[in-house]
Every structure is written in structure tokens, then in C-alpha cells.
Amino acid sequence: MTTMTAPAGPGKITEDDGAGPVRQAAIHEEVYQRLRRAIISGQLEPGRALSVRGLAAEFGVSTMPAREAIRQLAAQGALEFTTTRRVAVANMSREKLEELGDARLALEPPLAARALKTLGGDAGARERLADKLLAIDETLDKAIGQGDSASYARLNSEFHFTLYETASAPVYLGLVESLWLQTGPFMRVVIGRLGTAALEDDKHKEIVAALRVGDAGKLETAVREDIMQGMSNIVRGYSSDE
């Protein structure tokens, strides 16, 4: 079974001998969050095998927090157990793609609208968020121009979740994260197959523009169209694999 490169940034997690229950819980959470971010941002491809010992070694922790992180992500559908009881990043099927696309369309546009509602009439807050999103998107555009699929996948997830986290809606956000945990790895593979040029027509700038003027309807429409474009690319990539 292969191990993985330490996700979501270098450096090991400090795990002191004899650490108390609070510290142990924090270590479990940090391992889980870093592995989760790596999957959402497409750093791990579908079918990629993981091992408890390998993950523990990468982070410099004991096997317990590594095993717990794997268990949590398997429960969320991001990881799956093979017929030989090995654990791997979940694979994709056409039926699963369709279901994930429908679920994203149902959840993400209203979550974006909630983010706008949270900002209320604070035009300054809208501008600051819009500027932050635009900066991410400009870096993303450079990744597209350079054919850098890894950076694109990471920045695309950063763009969306910077917007969604503004909503302060943990139930919605948790559901959306579970969907990205399942689509993120495959999106990275699709970009590799189709090339980054296929990503140039995203709706990120429309999302930023709608946010600046505080138009919830236009914001929802832009997010919906962005999802449809992204999922269409994934379907194309899946079809080429078949």
C-alpha cells in the first residue's frame, strides 16, 4: 500500500509523549482537517491507497489519530475500503456523478446567498470579500495559463469555501464539504485529462461581480452556472475514461 505526501502544507504535528486528552483530541482534529483539505482540493486522486502507518509517519503522530481521521473520512464517503480491506480515496461512477451534481446545485447556490445575507448592508464587508475572492481567482487564472492542474484544483476549492464559510451556516457547510470530499479528487484527474484550457469559462468573475453589488439572485445564478460547468467537465472526463 502506498503512502502519501503530507497534505495541506509541510511540517509534522507535535505530539508530546503523555499528552492529555485535550491535546490528543486536538491532534486527532488536526490530522483529520489536513487530510480532509487534501482530498477536497484534489491533492489525492481517486483510488489512491492510504495506510494508517504511512499517514502517521507523514504527520509524525501515533497511529491512533491517523486511524481516526481515516475512519471519519470513510464515514463521509471520501475514502472507501476495498475488497481486500485496504482503504483508498473513493472512486467515481456515472450514477454517483449525477447525484453529486444534483446535490451541489441544491445546496451551494442558497449557501452563497446566505453568505451575502450574513454580510447584510455592509458594503465594505462585501468589497473586502469580493477583493479576496478576486485575488484567489487571479492566481487561479495564472495556474490555468501555466497548465498547473494541482494549483487550479486547490485554488478552486479555496475560492468556493472562502465564500461559503462567510455564511456562518455550519449545517449547510458540512453538507457541501461532504460533496466536495467526493468530487475533489476526481476533478483533479479530469483537469489532467482535458487540460486547464477547458476551465477558462468558469463563472468566478460573475460571482465576484454579483457579490459587489449585493445581488443575491445573480449570485445564486452565477454559482449554479459555475457548478454546472464544472460538473460537465467531470462528466466529460469520466466519459473519456470509460
The pLDDT, as a whole number, for residue 90 is 85
What's the total number of domains in the chain? 2
Looking at the structure, tell me whether residues 225 and 140 fall in a common domain: yes
Looking at the structure, tell me whether residues 80 and 198 fall in a common domain: no
| Mean pLDDT taken over the chain | 85
- Is 16 domain-assigned? no
**pTM of the entire predicted model:** 0.80
Residue 40: CATH number of its domain:
1.10.10.10
Separation CA 178–CA 77 (nearest Å): 8
- Is 219 domain-assigned? yes
The pLDDT, as a whole number, for residue 144 is 85
Separation CA 5–CA 14 (nearest Å): 18
The distance in angstroms from the start CA to the end CA of the chain is 25
Looking at the structure, tell me whether residues 202 and 221 fall in a common domain: yes
pLDDT higher than 80, residue 178: yes
Q: Is the dihedral of CA 198, 165, 107, 213 positive or negative?
A: negative
Averaged over 217-239, what is the pLDDT?
87
The pLDDT, as a whole number, for residue 169 is 97
Question: Of 65, 89, 113, which residue constitutes the final position of a domain?
Answer: 89
Domain around 203: 94-241
- Is 15 domain-assigned? no
Looking at the structure, tell me whether residues 112 and 84 fall in a common domain: no
Residues 6+ apart with CB under 8 A from 93: none
Candidate from 76-85, 106-115, 150-159 with smallest mean pLDDT: 76-85
pLDDT higher than 60, residue 9: no
Q: Copy the grid coordinates of residue 86.
A: 485496504
pLDDT higher than 70, residue 116: yes
DSSP the chain: ----PPPSSS-PPP--TT--HHHHHHHHHHHHHHHHHHHHTT-S-TT-EE-HHHHHHHHT--HHHHHHHHHHHHHTTSEEE-TTS-EEE----HHHHHHHHHHHHHHHHHHHHHHHHHHTT-HHHHHHHHHHHHHHHHHHHHHHHTT-HHHHHHHHHHHHHHHHGGG--HHHHHHHHHHHHHHHHHHHHHHHHH-GGGGTT-SHHHHHHHHHHT-HHHHHHHHHHHHHHHHHHHHHHHHHH-
Say if CB 69 and CB 32 are below 8 A apart: yes
Top-ranked range on mean pLDDT: pick from 81-85, 135-139, 190-194? 135-139
pLDDT higher than 50, residue 235: yes
The pLDDT, as a whole number, for residue 230 is 85
The pLDDT, as a whole number, for residue 3 is 41
Q: Copy the grid coordinates of residue 187.
A: 476533478
Q: What pLDDT digit, counting tens, does each position of 21-32 carry?
A: 667 788 889 999
- Is 7 domain-assigned? no
Question: Of 89, 115, 133, which residue constitutes the final position of a domain?
Answer: 89
Looking at the structure, tell me whether residues 83 and 103 fall in a common domain: no
Q: Copy the grid coordinates of residue 126.
A: 462585501
Separation CA 89–CA 186 (nearest Å): 10
C-alpha dihedral, 134 to 139 to 141 to 142, nearest 10°: 150
- Is 55 domain-assigned? yes
Q: How confident is the model at residue 2 (pLDDT cuts 50, 70, 90)?
A: very low
Separation CA 94–CA 239 (nearest Å): 9
Q: What pLDDT digit, counting tens, does each position of 43-83 carry?
A: 888 888 998 999 889 888 899 999 999 999 999 889 998 77
The pLDDT, as a whole number, for residue 21 is 64
Separation CA 43–CA 190 (nearest Å): 13
The pLDDT, as a whole number, for residue 4 is 45
